[in-house]
Amino acid sequence: MDFQPILDLLEKNGQAHILDHVRRLSPEKREVFCRNLSTLNLPLAFRLYQKFSRQKGSSAHLPNIEPAFVISTPRTPEEIQRRQEAFRLGESLIRGNQIAVLIVAGGQGTRLGFPGPKGFFPISPVKKKPLFQLFAESIQALSTRYRARIPLLVMTSRENREETETFFQSRDFFGLGKDQIHFFSQGMLPTLTPGGKLILGDETSLLANPDGHGGSLKALHESGLAGRLRGQGISEIFYCQVDNPLAKIADPAFIGCHRQEGADISTKVVRRQNLEEKVGIYGMVNGKPAIIEYSDFSPEDYRSLDENGSIRYWAGNIAIHLISLSFVDRLNRQGFALPYHRAVKEVEGLGPTGGNETMAGWKFESFVFDSIPLAQKSCCLEVVREEEFAPVKNQTGIDSPDTARRAMTDLFRRWLEYAGVQVPPGAQVEVSPLFALDQEELAGKLKGKKVVIQEDTYFG
Ligand code: UTP
């Protein structure tokens, strides 16, 4: 392979320090380094650097923001009936083998600081099942309930792909068929210093970061997986993040609403808890639906109330989507359509003296929700936070394993109470997806049985 064009590109973009490093390497290591280089989209990284370095100061707030239409939790008889119809429609699509589930698990999980991919984190309250196991078991239970074939797509980064696949293999794919699971890797983009210099990750590679969860929509297409799924009759993908153990996998009502609305992409939102909660908001920007980051609002707008005294921008994004495969195709037809963002983070790379150094780095990432304004039609559904959202982001405090476990126990407690079973305060309870996927199924299984809970109890 001729690496000269890449080396010329480095020269042209002011990366003499990397060329010096390459010259110092042995021929074998030089070959490895250049091979690694060739897997990164350097021209894109240089273009993004130019773009973001021209932006001065902090970004302005977005003008022309309005609240968007959200399908609220049904209350009137008509709304209830329409939701029931949506549920049945969603069920029929699952039964028809048209739905796949995508878990994005390529993030670096820096805030959680867990030694391993986040999907391995032992989260469930009693059995301490890892996040991946809960998703796989939900898919197994749904496949049984609907006699359906539901492919599980797991997006990893190149860094955690092998470890993730080995984890599934060593646990017999958590009961799923090996050919039911499709692993694919997202792209990586080089991390740059604020001065535009590439950073060495180690002797034979540059420091690079996964290209954001939006990279899933690119990698699905480029890996050929989207095409293969279409060939198998899949029309929609249920998308969720690896760190939400409460995600209602392939929720039929959500799938049905998406279809009823003829949407390209649908989003679940929950009510913002208070004016202080910082969350991406589903709203309208210049007349188009979008997720608006809280930093894109003026402080006054973000804290504004409507005529009833309720929070005006209440629809908080919980990163659960339904995405039509035809839309994924459209997003990739003329190059990848999503914009990139820049995050300034502390990173660790190889310094000039050969030791590890901490420095500021610019990471470029795309976000899956940036596809919403590009859709011809999008749909948004309000759901109840306590039933569907408990993210595991931080080691302690809010959005941590503690809060997620508490949310799981509280949810299962409510299911049990619905089934007529009292749970004493302090007891941990866990219901396996293989035992029941919802309170109705649990109540059906426990009907006529005397269940007494004294301490930590697992229904599996
Ligand atoms: P976050 O933005 O919360 O990032 O990802 P993270 O990597 O999990 O954690 P921090 O910010 O480093 O602490 C939300 C979801 O998107 C996935 C993550 O795996 C998680 O499921 N993700 C994020 C990717 O799959 N790829 C990425 O490049 C970034």
Kindly give the distance from the C-alpha atom of residue 232 to the centroid of ligand 1, in angstroms, as a whole number. Answer: 29
Q: What is the CA(187)–ligand 1 centre distance, in A?
A: 14
Closest Cα partner for 148 from 185, 184, 94, 112? 94
Q: Are 311 and 272 within 8 A, CB to CB?
A: yes
**Residue 62: per-residue pLDDT:** 81
Name the residue of 102, 104, 153, 163 whose CB sits within 8 Å of the most ligand 1 atoms, as the mutation to test its pocket.
Answer: 104
pTM recorded for the entire structure? 0.96
Q: What is the pLDDT of residues 283-302, one digit of tens each?
A: 999 999 999 999 999 999 99
**CA atoms within a 13 Å half-sphere pointing along the CA-CB vector of 147:** 0
**In the structure, what pLDDT confidence band is assigned to residue 2 with cuts at 50, 70 and 90?**
confident
pLDDT digits (tens, 9 = 90+) for 151-183: 999 999 999 999 999 999 999 999 999 999 999
pLDDT at 57: 65
Q: How many CA atoms lie within 13 A of 192 on its CB side?
A: 25
- Closest C-alpha residue for ligand 1 atom 2: 107
d(CA 173, CA 167): 8
pLDDT at 3: 86
Q: Note every long-range contact of 71-77, with CB atoms under 8 Å and residues 24 or more positions apart, other chains counting.
A: 71/257, 71/379, 71/380, 71/381, 71/382, 72/382, 73/382, 73/383, 73/384
**What pLDDT was estimated at residue 86?**
98
Q: Quote the pLDDT of residue 189.
A: 97
Q: Which atom of ligand 1 is nearest to the CA of 105?
A: 19
pLDDT tens-digit readout, 236-279: 999 999 999 999 999 999 999 999 999 999 999 999 999 999 99
Contact indicator for 83, 383 with CB cutoff of 8 Å: no
**Residues flanking ligand 1, CB < 6 Å:** 104-111, 118, 155, 186, 210-213, 215, 241-243, 365, 393
The answer to whether the CB of 390 falls within 8 A of the CB of 407 is yes
Task: Dump pLDDT digits (tens) for 373-413.
Answer: 999 999 999 999 999 999 999 999 999 999 999 999 999 99
pLDDT at 63: 78
Q: How far apart, in Å, are the Cα atoms of 82 and each of 73, 251, 254, 256, 424?
A: 11, 15, 12, 10, 37
Nearest residue CA, atom 16 of ligand 1?
213
Is the model's pLDDT at 355 over the cut of 90? Answer: no
Q: What is the pLDDT of residue 59?
A: 62
Q: Which two tokens stand for residue 252?
A: 């039929």
> 180-191, pLDDT tens digit by residue?
999 999 999 999
- How remote is the CA of residue 295 from the centroid of ligand 1, in Å? 19
Atom 4 of ligand 1, nearest CA residue: 107
Average pLDDT value for the chain = 96
Confidence label for 58 from pLDDT (cuts 50, 70 and 90): low
Helix (H) or strand (E) holding 347: strand 341-350
pLDDT confidence tier of residue 26, bands split at 50, 70 and 90:
very high
Cα distance between residue 219 and residue 208, in whole Å? 17
**Distance from residue 206's CA to the centre of ligand 1 (Å):** 21
Instruction: Give Cα separations from 85 to 91, 257, 342, 431 (angstroms).
Output: 10, 9, 42, 27
- Whether 123 shows a pLDDT value over 90: the answer reads yes
354 pLDDT band (50/70/90 cuts)?
confident
Which conformational region is residue 189 in: left (phi greater than 0), alpha (psi within -120 to 50 degrees), or beta? beta
Kindly give the distance from the C-alpha atom of residue 106 to the centroid of ligand 1, in angstroms, as a whole number: 6
